[in-house]
């Protein structure tokens, strides 16, 4: 009999693709635990049609101890993907993010420590947002880890990171797992707490645990109606509705965009390799993509002729550049397969059959009202 795996948040974007791979590629028995949050799934949502038919489904919240305890029963592995996601929203929906991400993780571990269970391994979804700014290089002073850009600099529309010693504009470098963490949002801090608590408690109680630091994931099933989801889905929704994507700063900030299929391959790599136990792993492509290039590619793939709306304003907590050094997970055999072009083509193909409501202007107005856009 195959091992049973519990995937919290398993009806969501990344979680549901994880479920597919576990069942179809590895033959695991899978139980999904998800609260079907309305912001992602719509009001009054039931089990999503895309969720694998062989997956068992339990609707429940990770903060509900009794319900989560029942979901854990009989499972050998827990993949803890359940979380509130979104940097901007986290800066005003503070209790929602901390209670779900931190308290929910605490409930899970309290069950694993204080109740009888059969869990042999835990994967916790962490985030590249923990790093704050990525690594940089100065031709005169070498590798640097820097504080966020001063607001006075941003008000002058001087977007690039500069060396604090010589003032030289810096070159972004791949960011590895040893970089000092510098959380610049409630979301980032909540994910850091999830990661730290999980590794700490896992080690203490000899439950092999792995923290997966997801970079900027995109692909089919990412909500096209949630204005706080990833940039690719937000831009895709806007373009589908004939609206130019709204871009902060100058659009030349870079991220590491990884297709969900590749990200799931990374998760399976660390899941099935004991050498990963108690470790922290970036899951990205190792290749930088500018936000402007991302938007322009989606506009082109959707056959539109307008340009992105680059507004030269900045959001509190935004970083300039961060992309992954994937040497550590690559040493376990992981290699991303999809280029950004191939991945975005897949996203656009899927989006043509979806209903999309672009709410980015509404989200922008809320951030302005809260004083988080300057």
Domains defined along the chain, listed by start: 4-134+175-369 (3.40.50.720), 135-174 (no CATH)
What is the Cα gyration radius of the chain? Answer: 20
Q: In Å, what is the CA distance from 191 to each residue of 24, 101, 102, 188, 308?
A: 29, 7, 8, 5, 31
- Section 247-270 average pLDDT: 98
Q: What does pLDDT average to over the chain?
A: 94
- Other CB atoms closer than 10 Å to residue 197's CB: what's the count? 17
> Which is more confidently placed, 370 or 203?
203
Answering whether pTM is above 0.85, one says: yes
Contact 238, 246 (CB under 8 A): yes
CA dist 374 and 358 (Å) reads: 22
Contact 83, 124 (CB under 8 A): no
Q: Among residues of the chain, what percentage have pLDDT more than 70? A: 99
pLDDT digits (tens, 9 = 90+) for 147-201: 899 999 999 999 999 999 999 999 999 999 999 999 999 999 999 999 999 999 9
* Band of residue 337 on the pLDDT scale cut at 50, 70, 90: very high
* Band of residue 223 on the pLDDT scale cut at 50, 70, 90: confident
Q: Which residues sit opposite 210 in a β-bridge?
A: 123
* Band of residue 370 on the pLDDT scale cut at 50, 70, 90: confident
**Nearest Cα residue to 33 out of 45, 49, 16, 17:** 16
> First and final CA of the chain: distance in angstroms?
57
CA dist 131 and 177 (Å) reads: 9
Q: Is the dihedral of CA 1, 266, 215, 338 positive or negative?
A: negative
CA dist 55 and 57 (Å) reads: 6
Tokens for 9, please give them.
Answer: 């948040």
For residue 325, pLDDT over 70 is answered with yes
Tokens for 41, please give them.
Answer: 């799934």
Q: Which of 99-108, 229-238, 261-270 has the lowest mean pLDDT?
A: 229-238
Q: In Å, what is the CA distance from 195 to each residue of 16, 80, 118, 121, 140?
A: 21, 11, 21, 14, 35
pLDDT digits (tens, 9 = 90+) for 206-220: 999 999 999 999 999
Catalytic residue among 28, 33, 136, 187: 187
For residue 1, pLDDT over 70 is answered with no
* Band of residue 227 on the pLDDT scale cut at 50, 70, 90: confident
Q: Is 187 a catalytic residue?
A: yes
SS3 314: coil
Per-residue confidence (pLDDT) for residue 153, from 0 to 100 = 93
């Amino acid at each position: 009999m195959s091992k049973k795996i519990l995937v919290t948040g398993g009806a969501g974007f990344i979680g549901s693709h994880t479920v597919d791979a576990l069942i179809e590629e590895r033959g695991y028995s899978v139980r999904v635990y998800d609260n079907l949050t309305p912001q992602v799934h719509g009001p009054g949502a039931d089990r999503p049609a895309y969720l694998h038919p062989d997956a068992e489904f339990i609707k429940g919240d990770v903060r509900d101890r009794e319900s989560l305890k029942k979901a854990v029963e009989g499972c050998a592995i827990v993949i803890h993907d359940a979380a509130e996601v979104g940097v901007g929203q986290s800066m005003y929906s503070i209790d929602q993010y901390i209670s779900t991400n931190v308290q929910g993780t605490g409930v899970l571990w309290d069950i694993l420590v204080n109740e009888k269970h059969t869990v042999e391994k835990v994967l916790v979804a962490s985030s590249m947002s923990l790093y704050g700014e990525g690594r940089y290089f100065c031709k005169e002073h070498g590798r640097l880890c820097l504080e966020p850009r001063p607001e006075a600099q941003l008000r002058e529309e001087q977007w690039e990171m500069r060396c604090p010693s010589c003032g030289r504009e810096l070159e972004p470098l791949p960011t590895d797992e040893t970089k000092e963490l510098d959380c610049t949002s409630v979301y980032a801090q909540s994910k850091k707490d999830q990661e730290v608590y999980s590794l700490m408690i896992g080690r203490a109680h000899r439950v092999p645990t792995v923290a997966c630091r997801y970079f900027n994931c995109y692909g089919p099933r990412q909500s096209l109606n949630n204005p706080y989801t990833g940039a690719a889905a937000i831009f895709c929704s806007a373009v589908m509705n004939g609206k130019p994507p709204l871009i902060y700063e100058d659009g030349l900030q870079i991220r590491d965009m990884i297709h969900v299929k590749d990200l799931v391959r990374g998760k399976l790599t660390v899941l099935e390799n004991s050498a990963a136990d108690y470790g922290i792993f970036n899951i990205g492509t190792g290749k930088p993509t500018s936000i402007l290039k991302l938007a322009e590619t989606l506009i082109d793939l959707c056959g539109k002729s307008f340009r992105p709306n680059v507004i030269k304003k900045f959001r509190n907590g935004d970083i300039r550049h961060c992309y992954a050094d994937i040497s550590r997970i690559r040493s376990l055999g992981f290699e991303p397969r999809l280029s950004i072009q191939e991945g975005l083509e897949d996203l656009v193909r899927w989006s043509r059959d979806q209903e999309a409501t672009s709410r980015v202007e509404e989200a922008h107005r809320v951030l302005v009202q809260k004083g988080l856009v300057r």
